[in-house]
Chains A and B, each alone.
Chain A
Amino acid sequence: MSEEGKPARPARVPFAPSSRDWLEPTTKFAAGRWSYSAKPKSLRTLGFPNPRDWSPDQADWKLPDNWKEIILQGLRERMDRFRSLRLFMDCCVRCGACADKCHYFIGTGDPKNMPVLRAELLRSVYRGEMTLAGRLLGRLAGGRRLTPEVLKEWFYYFYQCTECRRCSVFCPFGIDQAEITMLGRELLNLLGLNINWVMDPAAKCFTTGNHLGITPHALKDNLEFIVDTIEEVTGVRVDPPINRKGADVLFVAPSGDLLAEPGIFTLMGYLLVLHQSGLNYTWSSYASEGGNFGMFASHELMKGLNAKIYGEARRLGVKWILGGECGHMWRVAHQYMETMNGPADFLQEPISPITGTHFRNARTTRMVHIAEFTADLIQQGKLKLAPERNDRYRVTFHDSCNPARSMGLLEEPRYILRQTCRHFHEMPAETIREKTFCCGCGAGLGSEECMDLRMRGGIPRAEAVRSVREKYGVNLLSCICAIDRAVLPTLMDHWLPGVGVAGLHELVGNALVLDGEKERTTNLRGEPLHEGEA
């Protein structure tokens, strides 16, 4: 870490293979690179198998007697249900193009964090247990048997993947490690091998509607507190309705924005844009989570947690849905929601009532990203902006993995940034847009106990921010993901103290000129507008 306030600097990370063949399972778990097990209570709530007290660092994982049968049967079923899995088991040529595309490989040097090898951990079992050549020739054909040690190795490495999909951009066949991790974790879940940082929020989301377990009255309180703060800064009182029938639009945000800094400043930005635009909208206290930690456990849980979004849209009778800034939430909304819980024929094709813009790209799922909505408002001249209010910031933009690689939401946030900030600088081309690097904490890996993994996985992002800090004096990392807002401050404090983190709509909220506002002297964080100007 830093000494005498001097920023810490990551050291060169060497490639560190063990002297043994990779087919030998790794069973030693490095400190700070694994997460605590899920509590039995969460599994019971969700109806997941094998709820019990156990810990990954103990020898006995308390597996059911027929664990091997369960896994192999589960693998067969999933290969029959997912062409992706069947194809990805067979078609890798191990060319190595993906190897150093993984932030965890760059940060740890652990060869099994190369996406190709992380996938081979599963493929080798497929070959060794399910193909003729693998059963006859064994290791010679790259096959191995499923043993308790192999299972532990799966747990260790499938929970060292953030499903960010960067490897799949570079793969000549589009093999997607996120898909393999998702299905690998699904298999582990059949035996109750899961982590608390995924299952606890998922269980809360199941009953209260959001990952943080915010109850309806607490939601109201939180919003009121935020409304008060907005009034102090702007002199305007906004009025976010909850569970109001007859609204045109249901607004769904990641719940992280309701609770902690800097997420709440992003939420202030949403409220200001929605207020100033005059959109007739409502929150739902039940669909109070756009994020979906079910995605990090199983497709079924993803679907179950996601169901309440369309459910509430139908109950409240809205025309379409607007979604806040969140990463994996948008992977689910863009690629899964309508297939899982659609058709959304009870909604209408989304048309902005303010500009008349028809969001054709969302005509089936009927859910619009707030960056699309706001970019349209700005481009149509419906918002008055004072970008000089963000002059204390020199801003760069972190493309959050899922909006970049599972959606392609690249220009909308950049357009908004250029309109709301006067100092915006891009990080190196290899680290943004579809090549963006993960924050290092996605897919449920944001816990305190895996801090070593998080800080190492964040090295590529931190190094990219460092390069623009040295070049342009960048002091603010903007993003469009609630996990980013929760974890990037820790990462910046560790590697680059002094660089702040903000959601896109916080900057919009600062720049947005409201009808009837008082003269602003501070930004939404309460920092003086005219001090430390860049």
Chain B
Amino acid sequence: MLPLVAVAALALMAWTGAGWPRLEPFYGVILPYGALLAFLVGMSWRVLSWTRSPVPFNITTTCGQQYSLPWIRSSRLENPHTRWGAAGRVVLEMLLFRSLLRNVQHEWVESGREGAAPKLVFKSSPGLWLAALVFHYSMLLVLLHHARFFLEPVLGWVRGLDRLDAFFQLGSAACYVSGLTLILALLYLLARRWWLPWLRYLSLPADYFPLYLLLGVALTGGMMHYSTRANVPAAKDFCLGLARLRPAGLSGLGPLFHVHLTLACLLLAYVPFSKLAHMVSLPLSPTRNLPGAGRMTRHVNPWNAPVKTHSYADYENEYRDKMRAAGIPLEKEAP
């Protein structure tokens, strides 16, 4: 509940802020540039903080047949033995969410017979994979559509994308499929957290907050696009101003635009300091980005240090007589 209240409060602040011309530099300049700066600096700091720590061991999780004997077909992507294979595996994870697609859910099923105990079965469960895929690609499309606000002239590929995505019209507005699927996917991801008891139990405010924030951004964007018909030329002037480092101000843009802009900026600034940073963690994950053939190539641990061991000489000293009696060869006949 609290994350929803927080997002609503932030939206309300932005809405009322629109009526205060003196706050315009804050909304029109400080917020967007500040958010971008926070995102860039924050992400760099995140990546640096992760990569500063070494990868001492090759701990690949192998998900397929190893490369071994020539007549056994190895799984080049699920258990790669080359760097290229490992790169392919990471790409597969990033673009198609390979591991999520594997998802199966356990279920106890009644066997149907009187008095018989239930059976444990596993059912394919691609819902999360599909929702995640739809969400991320819709998000990507929606972001790409925004390019037309930042480019003059609008490049051909942006128009092409528009035509592909908006295959029907709603009144005067082009109806983007991506906007619709974005909101539906977000609602699905939210609904899972509400309804699945085990997921509700483990979820934290930090899991709901970004979902509400994203929904806020998406809904205000949609509202401007379909109903209030925001002042597009003014919005474009504002965005172009930002892109050309000559901020044009927010005049002519209503409170809804303020809310959309504010929530979007907060989202951007929030990414590096939250779980949303997962966008860059995946290619760094040591269980996925290394070749699985651990016995093939040397992996060096930079902090490898000597440890306490018990030497063979000590062992032989302790058991020499018994070893001799048992006829086991010795290094030294006497200590």
B288 CB to nearest A CB, Å: 4
Closest to A84 in B: B286
Q: Does B66 contact A (CB under 8 A)?
A: yes
Q: Does A327 contact B (CB under 8 A)?
A: no
Using Cβ atoms and an 8 Å threshold, which residues of chain B touch A459?
120
A interface residue count range (under 10 / 10 to 19 / 20 to 34 / 35 or more): 35 or more
Q: When the two chains form their complex, are residues A408 and B310 in contact, meaning their CB atoms are under 8 A apart?
A: no
Q: When the two chains form their complex, are residues B296 and A364 in contact, meaning their CB atoms are under 8 A apart?
A: yes
Q: Does B53 contact A (CB under 8 A)?
A: yes
Q: When the two chains form their complex, are residues A86 and B68 in contact, meaning their CB atoms are under 8 A apart?
A: no
Tell me the A18-65 residues at the B interface (CB within 8 Å). Answer: 22, 46-47
Q: When the two chains form their complex, are residues B278 and A173 in contact, meaning their CB atoms are under 8 A apart?
A: yes
Which of A87, A216, A308, A434 touches B63 (beta carbons < 8 Å)? Answer: A434
Alpha-carbon distance between A320 and B1 when the two chains are bound, in angstroms? 62
Q: Does B170 contact A (CB under 8 A)?
A: no
Tell me the B104-141 residues at the A interface (CB within 8 Å). Answer: 104-106, 108, 116-120, 122, 128, 132
A164 CB to nearest B CB, Å: 11
Using Cβ atoms and an 8 Å threshold, which residues of chain B touch A382?
none
Binding site for A on B (CB under 8 A): 2, 46, 49-69, 71-75, 78-79, 81, 93, 97, 99-100, 102-106, 108, 116-120, 122, 128, 132, 192, 196-199, 201-207, 273, 275, 277-278, 281-282, 284-288, 292-301, 303-304, 307-312, 315, 318-319, 322-323, 325-329, 331
Q: Which 6 interchain pairs have the tightest Cβ spacing?
A: A408-B66, A9-B117, A91-B281, A174-B287, A365-B295, A430-B122
A471 CB to nearest B CB, Å: 12
Q: Could you pull out 16 A-B pairs where Cβ atoms are within 8 angstroms?
A: A80-B53, A81-B303, A87-B284, A96-B128, A97-B103, A172-B93, A174-B285, A174-B288, A207-B318, A220-B327, A339-B299, A340-B304, A362-B295, A365-B294, A376-B69, A405-B62
Alpha-carbon distance between A217 and B49 when the two chains are bound, in angstroms? 53
Tell me the A272-307 residues at the B interface (CB within 8 Å). Answer: 285-286, 299-301, 303-304, 307
Closest to A107 in B: B120
Task: Tell me the total A-B contact number using a CB cutoff of 8 A.
Answer: 305
Using Cβ atoms and an 8 Å threshold, which residues of chain B touch A411?
65, 72-73
Closest to B302 in A: A81
A343 CB to nearest B CB, Å: 6
Q: When the two chains form their complex, are residues A304 and B284 in contact, meaning their CB atoms are under 8 A apart?
A: no
Classify the secondary structure of A's interface with B. Answer: helix
Alpha-carbon distance between A47 and B310 when the two chains are bound, in angstroms? 12
Using Cβ atoms and an 8 Å threshold, which residues of chain A touch B73?
411
Using Cβ atoms and an 8 Å threshold, which residues of chain B touch A333?
295
Using Cβ atoms and an 8 Å threshold, which residues of chain A touch B50?
83, 86-87, 90
Known: A408-B62, A428-B122. 8 other contacts (CB 8 A): A81-B54, A93-B278, A96-B192, A140-B205, A335-B57, A335-B58, A364-B296, A372-B68
Using Cβ atoms and an 8 Å threshold, which residues of chain A touch B310?
206-207, 304, 308
Q: When the two chains form their complex, are residues B312 and A245 in contact, meaning their CB atoms are under 8 A apart?
A: no
Q: When the two chains form their complex, are residues B202 and A172 in contact, meaning their CB atoms are under 8 A apart?
A: no
Q: When the two chains form their complex, are residues A463 and B66 in contact, meaning their CB atoms are under 8 A apart?
A: no
- From known contacts A86-B53, A173-B281, infer whether A359 and B198 are also in contact, taking CB-CB under 8 Å: no
Q: When the two chains form their complex, are residues B204 and A94 in contact, meaning their CB atoms are under 8 A apart?
A: yes
Q: When the two chains form their complex, are residues B329 and A217 in contact, meaning their CB atoms are under 8 A apart?
A: no
**Interface residues as binary, A64-99 with B (CB distance below 8 Å gives 1, 0 otherwise):** 000000000000000111111111001111111101
B279 CB to nearest A CB, Å: 10
Q: When the two chains form their complex, are residues B97 and A172 in contact, meaning their CB atoms are under 8 A apart?
A: yes
Stretch at the interface among A111-119, A146-154, A192-200, A486-494: A111-119
Q: When the two chains form their complex, are residues B49 and A86 in contact, meaning their CB atoms are under 8 A apart?
A: yes
Alpha-carbon distance between A311 and B72 when the two chains are bound, in angstroms? 32
Alpha-carbon distance between A366 and B297 when the two chains are bound, in angstroms? 11
Using Cβ atoms and an 8 Å threshold, which residues of chain B touch A133?
273
Q: Give the residue among B99, B199, B287 with the most A Cβ atoms within 10 A.
A: B287
Q: Does A447 contact B (CB under 8 A)?
A: no
B60 CB to nearest A CB, Å: 7
Q: When the two chains form their complex, are residues B296 and A216 in contact, meaning their CB atoms are under 8 A apart?
A: no
Q: Does A342 contact B (CB under 8 A)?
A: yes
Alpha-carbon distance between A301 and B192 when the two chains are bound, in angstroms? 43
Q: Does A472 contact B (CB under 8 A)?
A: no
Using Cβ atoms and an 8 Å threshold, which residues of chain A touch B74?
408
Alpha-carbon distance between A100 and B121 when the two chains are bound, in angstroms? 12
Tell me the A196-216 residues at the B interface (CB within 8 Å). Answer: 206-209, 215-216
Q: Does A326 contact B (CB under 8 A)?
A: no
Q: When the two chains form their complex, are residues A13 and B108 in contact, meaning their CB atoms are under 8 A apart?
A: yes
Using Cβ atoms and an 8 Å threshold, which residues of chain B touch A80?
52-53
Q: When the two chains form their complex, are residues A169 and B61 in contact, meaning their CB atoms are under 8 A apart?
A: yes
Q: Give the residue among B106, B205, B323 with the most A Cβ atoms within 10 A.
A: B106
Q: Does A526 contact B (CB under 8 A)?
A: no
Which of B55, B61, B79, B281 touches A90 (beta carbons < 8 Å)? Answer: B281
Q: Does A375 contact B (CB under 8 A)?
A: yes
Using Cβ atoms and an 8 Å threshold, which residues of chain B touch A168?
61, 287
Using Cβ atoms and an 8 Å threshold, which residues of chain B touch A85?
53
Q: Does A184 contact B (CB under 8 A)?
A: no
Q: When the two chains form their complex, are residues A117 and B202 in contact, meaning their CB atoms are under 8 A apart?
A: yes
A144 CB to nearest B CB, Å: 11
Using Cβ atoms and an 8 Å threshold, which residues of chain B touch A22?
201-202
Tell me the A206-233 residues at the B interface (CB within 8 Å). Answer: 206-209, 215-217, 220-221
Alpha-carbon distance between A510 and B325 when the two chains are bound, in angstroms? 34
Alpha-carbon distance between A93 and B56 when the two chains are bound, in angstroms? 25
Alpha-carbon distance between A120 and B315 when the two chains are bound, in angstroms? 43
Q: When the two chains form their complex, are residues B323 and A79 in contact, meaning their CB atoms are under 8 A apart?
A: no
Q: Does A235 contact B (CB under 8 A)?
A: no
Closest to A362 in B: B295
B335 CB to nearest A CB, Å: 16
Using Cβ atoms and an 8 Å threshold, which residues of chain A touch B117?
9-12
